[in-house]
Amino acid sequence: MIVIVDYNAGNLRSITKAVEIYTGRENVKVSKDPEEVLSGDKIVFPGVGNFKSAVLNLSKKEGRMSLRDALLESIKNKVPFLGICLGMHLLMESSEEGGNSKGLGVIEGSVIRFREVDKVPHMGWNSVELLKDIPLFEGIGSNQYFYFVHSYHVNPLDNDVVVGVSEYGYRFPCVIQKGNVYGTQFHPEKSSKIGLKVIENFLELI
């Protein structure tokens, strides 16, 4: 079962429809139940909105655990995990958004606002330069265009987790990987056929 995490952070319709193309509706569950998240064979962690509000929603206990607890346990159990946009930001230790709020701490580093650019948010199609070959981009060449909409970006301490970069005033990390955990700053579900290929590759991960 593919679990798409619902933590009141944006519209889930687009990512759900994109995943269902490859799995069928019966194999996709949108859930805010920590126990259901723990039962997922793969986890998609999307999000649009405010980092601090998202952290508060994730920390609320439902029964014996919170969504935060369930996500961290699933990652520890090496369940394939894809964080998208805010979902990728929340993997970091902290974010400037919302007054230096604490994230999940899966990846060392922070989330910072764009510096010295003409306009924020960064919105629209932009190319992604791949720095490494990873399964998430199987069959996808470097410098393909994906859809972005964001005012903040990740700033990992360890450059080894940075798989892809894009440019908006300066180069910034837009694809990360640490073991079974993947993150994309762009929205694959809104990035036409090339974005759907990213989703398909994630769903085929063993």
35, 89, 187, 204: the catalytic one is: 187
Q: Are 94 and 103 in contact, with CB atoms under 8 Å apart?
A: yes
85 assigned to active site: yes
Q: What is the number of other CB atoms lying within 10 angstroms of the CB of residue 33?
A: 16
73, 189, 200, 204: the catalytic one is: 189
150 assigned to active site: no
174 assigned to active site: no
Q: Are 113 and 151 in contact, with CB atoms under 8 Å apart?
A: yes
Phi and psi dihedrals of 123, rounded to 5?
Answer: -140, 130
Q: Which two tokens stand for residue 47?
A: 């999000």
b/e sequence 75-103, b meaning 16+ C-beta within 10 Å: beeebbbbbbbbbbbbbbbbbebeeebeb
Phi and psi dihedrals of 79, rounded to 5?
Answer: -70, 130
**What is the C-alpha end-to-end distance of the chain, expressed in Å?**
13
85, 89, 122, 174: the catalytic one is: 85
Residues designated as active site:
85, 187, 189
